[in-house]
Amino acid sequence: MFASLCQCHTWPYTLPMKNSSFLKEVIFYALFALLIVIPVRTWIAQPFIVNGSSMDPTFIDGEYLIVDEISYRFENPARGDVVIFKYPEDPSKYFIKRLIGLPGETISVKSDSVVITNTENPSGLVLNEPYINSRTFGNTDVTLASNEYFVMGDNRLVSSDSRVWGPLSRDAIIGRPFVRLLPITKIKLFPGKMINETTENK
Protein backbone atom coordinates (compact mmCIF):
# COMPACT_ATOMS: atom_id res chain seq x y z
CA MET A 1 0.00 0.00 0.00
CA PHE A 2 2.77 2.43 0.87
CA ALA A 3 4.58 1.70 -2.36
CA SER A 4 1.45 2.50 -4.23
CA LEU A 5 0.93 5.75 -2.36
CA CYS A 6 4.49 6.79 -2.99
CA GLN A 7 4.06 6.32 -6.74
CA CYS A 8 0.92 8.46 -6.60
CA HIS A 9 2.65 11.21 -4.67
CA THR A 10 5.52 11.48 -7.16
CA TRP A 11 3.23 12.96 -9.89
CA PRO A 12 2.81 16.41 -8.34
CA TYR A 13 6.60 16.77 -8.32
CA THR A 14 7.70 15.21 -11.62
CA LEU A 15 4.94 16.62 -13.85
CA PRO A 16 5.84 20.27 -13.37
CA MET A 17 9.40 19.42 -14.37
CA LYS A 18 8.19 17.94 -17.67
CA ASN A 19 5.91 20.92 -18.28
CA SER A 20 8.75 23.30 -17.53
CA SER A 21 11.04 21.53 -20.01
CA PHE A 22 8.34 21.55 -22.68
CA LEU A 23 7.69 25.24 -22.11
CA LYS A 24 11.39 26.01 -22.48
CA GLU A 25 11.48 24.15 -25.81
CA VAL A 26 8.44 26.07 -27.08
CA ILE A 27 10.06 29.37 -26.09
CA PHE A 28 13.36 28.34 -27.72
CA TYR A 29 11.79 27.44 -31.07
CA ALA A 30 9.59 30.54 -31.01
CA LEU A 31 12.65 32.73 -30.48
CA PHE A 32 14.52 30.81 -33.18
CA ALA A 33 11.70 31.51 -35.63
CA LEU A 34 11.59 35.20 -34.68
CA LEU A 35 15.33 35.78 -34.75
CA ILE A 36 16.44 33.50 -37.59
CA VAL A 37 13.72 32.07 -39.82
CA ILE A 38 11.52 35.15 -40.26
CA PRO A 39 14.38 37.59 -40.98
CA VAL A 40 15.94 35.12 -43.43
CA ARG A 41 12.68 34.70 -45.33
CA THR A 42 11.97 38.43 -45.25
CA TRP A 43 15.33 39.87 -46.27
CA ILE A 44 17.66 37.10 -47.51
CA ALA A 45 15.89 34.18 -49.21
CA GLN A 46 12.47 32.64 -49.52
CA PRO A 47 10.81 29.86 -51.50
CA PHE A 48 8.68 30.35 -54.59
CA ILE A 49 6.80 27.89 -56.78
CA VAL A 50 6.71 28.54 -60.53
CA ASN A 51 3.16 28.92 -61.80
CA GLY A 52 2.53 28.96 -65.55
CA SER A 53 4.51 28.44 -68.75
CA SER A 54 5.84 31.93 -69.59
CA MET A 55 9.42 30.87 -68.79
CA ASP A 56 9.42 27.48 -70.54
CA PRO A 57 11.74 25.69 -71.02
CA THR A 58 14.04 27.42 -68.49
CA PHE A 59 11.49 27.11 -65.68
CA ILE A 60 8.41 24.93 -65.87
CA ASP A 61 5.17 24.93 -63.94
CA GLY A 62 5.49 23.54 -60.41
CA GLU A 63 9.24 23.95 -59.95
CA TYR A 64 10.34 24.90 -56.43
CA LEU A 65 12.85 27.75 -56.22
CA ILE A 66 14.76 29.42 -53.41
CA VAL A 67 15.11 33.10 -54.26
CA ASP A 68 18.14 35.18 -53.32
CA GLU A 69 16.77 38.47 -51.98
CA ILE A 70 20.01 40.03 -50.78
CA SER A 71 22.39 40.25 -53.78
CA TYR A 72 20.51 43.08 -55.48
CA ARG A 73 20.87 45.16 -52.35
CA PHE A 74 24.58 45.43 -53.20
CA GLU A 75 24.63 45.17 -56.99
CA ASN A 76 22.39 46.02 -59.91
CA PRO A 77 20.63 43.40 -62.02
CA ALA A 78 22.45 42.53 -65.25
CA ARG A 79 21.15 41.82 -68.73
CA GLY A 80 20.21 38.17 -69.01
CA ASP A 81 19.41 37.76 -65.29
CA VAL A 82 16.21 35.97 -64.38
CA VAL A 83 14.42 38.09 -61.78
CA ILE A 84 11.44 37.71 -59.46
CA PHE A 85 9.42 40.86 -58.97
CA LYS A 86 6.09 42.26 -57.87
CA TYR A 87 3.70 42.51 -60.79
CA PRO A 88 3.32 46.27 -61.44
CA GLU A 89 -0.44 46.07 -61.98
CA ASP A 90 -1.03 43.94 -58.86
CA PRO A 91 1.84 43.99 -56.31
CA SER A 92 0.31 41.08 -54.40
CA LYS A 93 1.39 38.81 -57.28
CA TYR A 94 4.96 37.75 -58.08
CA PHE A 95 6.27 37.23 -61.62
CA ILE A 96 9.43 35.60 -62.96
CA LYS A 97 10.96 36.94 -66.20
CA ARG A 98 14.31 37.55 -67.87
CA LEU A 99 15.89 40.99 -67.81
CA ILE A 100 16.41 42.30 -71.34
CA GLY A 101 16.83 46.09 -71.18
CA LEU A 102 18.82 48.22 -68.72
CA PRO A 103 18.17 51.76 -67.43
CA GLY A 104 18.71 54.46 -70.03
CA GLU A 105 18.55 52.08 -73.00
CA THR A 106 16.08 52.07 -75.87
CA ILE A 107 14.48 48.70 -76.55
CA SER A 108 12.96 47.89 -79.93
CA VAL A 109 10.97 44.71 -80.42
CA LYS A 110 9.97 44.12 -84.02
CA SER A 111 10.44 41.72 -86.92
CA ASP A 112 11.03 38.83 -84.50
CA SER A 113 14.12 40.48 -82.98
CA VAL A 114 15.14 42.58 -79.99
CA VAL A 115 17.42 45.57 -80.61
CA ILE A 116 19.20 47.44 -77.81
CA THR A 117 20.37 51.01 -78.35
CA ASN A 118 22.66 52.55 -75.73
CA THR A 119 25.79 54.71 -75.41
CA GLU A 120 28.06 51.77 -76.25
CA ASN A 121 25.95 50.81 -79.26
CA PRO A 122 24.38 53.99 -80.68
CA SER A 123 23.48 52.16 -83.91
CA GLY A 124 21.82 49.37 -81.96
CA LEU A 125 22.66 45.72 -81.40
CA VAL A 126 20.52 42.63 -81.90
CA LEU A 127 20.36 40.32 -78.89
CA ASN A 128 21.39 36.72 -79.35
CA GLU A 129 18.89 34.85 -77.15
CA PRO A 130 19.59 31.09 -76.97
CA TYR A 131 17.18 30.71 -74.04
CA ILE A 132 13.94 31.64 -75.83
CA ASN A 133 11.40 28.96 -76.67
CA SER A 134 9.41 30.73 -79.39
CA ARG A 135 9.36 33.66 -81.77
CA THR A 136 9.34 37.18 -80.34
CA PHE A 137 6.16 38.94 -81.39
CA GLY A 138 5.44 42.58 -80.74
CA ASN A 139 5.98 46.09 -82.05
CA THR A 140 7.54 48.01 -79.19
CA ASP A 141 9.88 50.98 -78.89
CA VAL A 142 10.56 52.23 -75.40
CA THR A 143 13.30 54.30 -73.77
CA LEU A 144 13.90 53.32 -70.17
CA ALA A 145 14.24 55.80 -67.32
CA SER A 146 17.16 55.68 -64.88
CA ASN A 147 15.32 53.26 -62.58
CA GLU A 148 13.55 51.10 -65.17
CA TYR A 149 14.16 47.70 -66.74
CA PHE A 150 12.60 45.81 -69.64
CA VAL A 151 11.72 42.17 -68.95
CA MET A 152 10.31 39.33 -71.07
CA GLY A 153 9.50 35.68 -70.56
CA ASP A 154 11.53 33.01 -72.36
CA ASN A 155 8.30 31.62 -73.84
CA ARG A 156 7.42 34.79 -75.74
CA LEU A 157 4.16 33.49 -77.23
CA VAL A 158 2.38 33.30 -73.87
CA SER A 159 4.32 35.72 -71.69
CA SER A 160 2.73 38.83 -70.20
CA ASP A 161 5.71 41.14 -69.81
CA SER A 162 7.09 44.61 -70.59
CA ARG A 163 5.72 44.35 -74.12
CA VAL A 164 2.25 44.41 -72.55
CA TRP A 165 2.42 46.45 -69.33
CA GLY A 166 5.58 48.51 -69.87
CA PRO A 167 8.91 48.95 -68.05
CA LEU A 168 9.61 47.45 -64.65
CA SER A 169 10.64 49.71 -61.76
CA ARG A 170 13.84 48.79 -59.90
CA ASP A 171 11.92 48.93 -56.63
CA ALA A 172 9.64 46.09 -57.75
CA ILE A 173 12.48 43.57 -58.16
CA ILE A 174 12.61 41.10 -55.26
CA GLY A 175 15.57 38.93 -56.21
CA ARG A 176 16.85 36.15 -58.45
CA PRO A 177 16.61 32.36 -58.35
CA PHE A 178 19.41 31.01 -56.17
CA VAL A 179 18.66 27.30 -56.34
CA ARG A 180 16.08 25.02 -57.95
CA LEU A 181 15.18 22.36 -55.38
CA LEU A 182 12.40 20.51 -57.16
CA PRO A 183 12.13 18.43 -59.19
CA ILE A 184 15.14 16.61 -57.71
CA THR A 185 16.39 15.63 -61.17
CA LYS A 186 16.80 19.34 -62.01
CA ILE A 187 18.46 20.64 -58.84
CA LYS A 188 20.75 23.50 -59.83
CA LEU A 189 22.45 26.60 -58.44
CA PHE A 190 21.52 29.87 -60.15
CA PRO A 191 19.16 28.23 -62.67
CA GLY A 192 18.58 30.28 -65.81
CA LYS A 193 21.75 32.32 -65.36
CA MET A 194 23.33 33.48 -68.61
CA ILE A 195 26.85 34.79 -69.18
CA ASN A 196 26.56 38.46 -70.12
CA GLU A 197 28.83 38.26 -73.15
CA THR A 198 26.70 35.57 -74.80
CA THR A 199 23.47 37.59 -74.70
CA GLU A 200 24.62 40.27 -77.10
CA ASN A 201 25.14 39.66 -80.79
CA LYS A 202 27.27 42.54 -82.04
Cα distance between residue 186 and residue 22, in whole Å? 40
Cα distance between residue 176 and residue 191, in whole Å? 9
Catalytic residue among 54, 108, 159, 162: 54
Catalytic residue among 97, 108, 159, 162: 97
Question: Nearest Cα to 159, choosing from 113, 201, 109, 97?
Answer: 97
Cα 164 to Cα 52, 65, 97, 153, 167: the distances in Å are 17, 26, 13, 12, 9
Catalytic status, residue 54: yes
Give the residue numbers annotated as catalytic, written as ranges. Answer: 54, 97
